Amino acid sequence: MTEVSWSRLGGGDCIRLTGLPAGAVVQVRPGPAATGGGLPPMAGQLVRDGADLCFVPRFAFLDGTAYTVTVEGATAVTLVRARPDRTATTEITDIRPTAAEVPCNLLRLYVWFSAPMSEGCAAGDVRLADDGGDTIPGALLPGEHELWDTSRRRLTVLLDPARIKRGLAGHREAGYPLRPGKPFRLVVDSGFRDAQGLPLRAGAQRRYKVGGEERRHVDPASWLLTVPPAGTSEPVQVAFGRPLDHGLLARCLHVAGPGGELIHGAPQISHGEQAWQLVPRRAWASGSHQLIVDPVLEDLAGNSVSRVFDRDLSCPNDEPRQARPVMVPFRPR
């Protein structure tokens, strides 16, 4: 009588077969017995361990998957790889922007999770919905490419650019996905799986009011700077006059001191993404400082310092601006 069970061999998982007739042909396939017809066996090796034979898989057994073992073509047993009994702990920690109102040509949102996530859920578990709870169809960029940061904790959510860019079929036929005066919510369902395969503790949503189009360059010359006194570690504060992209703000603004050296410190983006500040690690020197603005910095609608999202060729204001960093001088008092 053959006994088949989960076991270990050489530090790895295996399926152990005891009491097997000599020379018997053993195969393993994922799934219940009925699905095996015509499918190739799972890659692995049969290794003799004393009187037992062990199936050592080339690719690790997956939790929650059933494996059917056949001996001489007949099903011996189906073993189910248990899923560890864990409770959901992963949460949504932030949804950006936090601005209360976004332009109707909003391009991008970010969702932050408290733990690394699985890929493959964004299309089904992230949506835009109206105040009645109905999904706004065709609003988000469909596609196979989910945009994660390296740690898979921040998901970038793009609205379909074809519906935002003027002149394209998507925009002409379907219009903006968002309408001025019609609030909407970004909804993340709790079914979104974390990297352990568990759902979220709870879904989350953020509601936005919708304003008109935003088609202007991001213009550092129009920003309002609050300049700290020299000799203190008070922050330099920058007010943009409109919300900018949270992801890009985190890396596009720097401060250089009188000698051109970068001022190190703690940057902070305000709630609403309309302002940024830097608390310096050391007290401000006197003399001329520069706020250095990377020209890729965008607003919520994809307009950057160097170019607008789609340029109206007949509009002189839309002409591309310099691709080099923009310097905004200030002098601690």
Query: According to CB under 8 A, which residues from 69 to 128 bind another protein?
Result: 93-94, 107-108, 112, 114, 116-120
In sequence order, which ranges of 109-153 are alpha helices (DSSP H)?
Answer: 122-125
Q: Considering only residues 1, 22, 34, 43, which one is a binding residue for another protein as defined by CB under 8 A?
A: 43
With residue 79 as reference, give the H or E element that holds it.
strand 74-80
Least distance in angstroms from the C-beta of 138 to another protein:
5
Interaction with another protein in 180-209: which residues (CB under 8 A)? Answer: 193-197
Locate 79 and state its tokens: 């073993």
119/181 with CB nearer another protein: 119
Interaction with another protein in 148-167: which residues (CB under 8 A)? Answer: 148-151, 154, 156, 160-163, 165-167
**Given CA atoms 38, 44, 47, 51 in this order, what sign does their dihedral have?**
negative
Task: Please tell me the number of Cα atoms within 13 Å of 310 on its side-chain side.
Answer: 12
The DSSP-derived string for 176-196 is: -SS-TT--EEEEE-TT--BTT
Least distance in angstroms from the C-beta of 239 to another protein:
19
Least distance in angstroms from the C-beta of 193 to another protein:
7
Least distance in angstroms from the C-beta of 1 to another protein:
26
Q: Considering only residues 97, 103, 220, 280, which one is a binding residue for another protein as defined by CB under 8 A?
A: 280
Interaction with another protein in 232-271: which residues (CB under 8 A)? Answer: 233, 245, 247-248, 250-251, 254, 262, 264-268
Q: Considering only residues 74, 173, 221, 259, which one is a binding residue for another protein as defined by CB under 8 A?
A: 173
Locate 277 and state its tokens: 């500040």
Q: How far apart are alpha carbons 149 and 115 in whole angstroms?
A: 12
Q: How far apart are alpha carbons 123 and 100 in whole angstroms?
A: 25
User: Which of 191, 223, 243 lies closest to 293, judged by CA?
Assistant: 223
Q: Considering only residues 281, 324, 331, 333, which one is a binding residue for another protein as defined by CB under 8 A?
A: 281
53/310 with CB nearer another protein: 310
